Amino acid sequence: MKRIAFLLALVALLVPVFAAQLPVRAAAQDVGRLSGPQSSLPLGLRPSHRPVGTLLDEAHLPPEANQVRIRRRVVVRVSPAPPRARSQMLAELPRRPMRRSYEEVDHDNCVDVGDIVGVQPTSDNRLLFFTQQRDVLAARLNSTCSARAFYAGFYVERSEDGKLCVARDRLQSRAGASCQVAEFSRLVAISQ
């Protein structure tokens, strides 16, 4: 009795395997019959005359690239440095007491927008730009502008050269003010 149950269980396991192969064989035979000029497979599929190995080899090839040109405006947002980042920068300073003062030196009329990582307004109507190279640049605004309007950072439309230049580009504050930079200078620490 146990042998018959074992054989029936074996047959029950093998039937789905053979049943799954039957439609594939029938479909392959139908493809051979339907390969005439007027024939087509159901759902609009056409038989492939390439061997399966070739298809797998082509799957590993890099995709063919076509040139795409996208033209749009790019606006860069520069925000104030977050308090955590400021405290981290202060934590990296040496612990010994240092007395430093800063001297302003001339700077080019342009700054790479991608180098600016933070901005902070000052009480003398200037903006301090903090750069990736750890430089501090002071930007004097036009006399009609207020640096306090830029407390939350600014937007600037990216130019073709990727730079923010004096008397060319306009800074847009999040509060709605629009100003141009009148002059850049770099703050250099001097030891006393």
Rg (CA), the chain: 35
Residues 6+ apart with CB under 8 A from 152: 79, 80, 173, 174, 175
Q: What is the pLDDT of residue 175?
A: 82
d(CA 163, CA 114): 8
For every residue of 130-175, DSSP letters joined together read EETTS-EEEEEEPTT--GGGGTT-EEEE--TT-EEETTT-EEEETT
pLDDT per residue of the chain (192 residues) written in tens, 0 to 9: 777 877 778 777 776 666 655 555 545 555 555 554 544 445 545 555 555 556 556 666 666 666 666 667 767 777 776 677 666 666 666 565 555 677 889 999 999 998 998 888 888 889 999 888 888 899 999 888 999 998 888 889 888 999 999 999 999 988 888 999 999 999 887 766
Q: How far apart are CA 31 and CA 75, in angstroms?
A: 56
- The answer to whether 74 touches 157, Cβ cutoff 8 Å, is yes
Report the predicted TM-score, pTM, of the whole model to 2 decimal places: 0.51
Tokens of 96: 């010994």
Tell me, what's the pLDDT at 98? 55
* Tokens 């049943």 found at: 19
> Which pLDDT belongs to residue 56?
59
Compute the distance between CA of residue 79 and CA of residue 169 in angstroms, rounded to an integer. 17
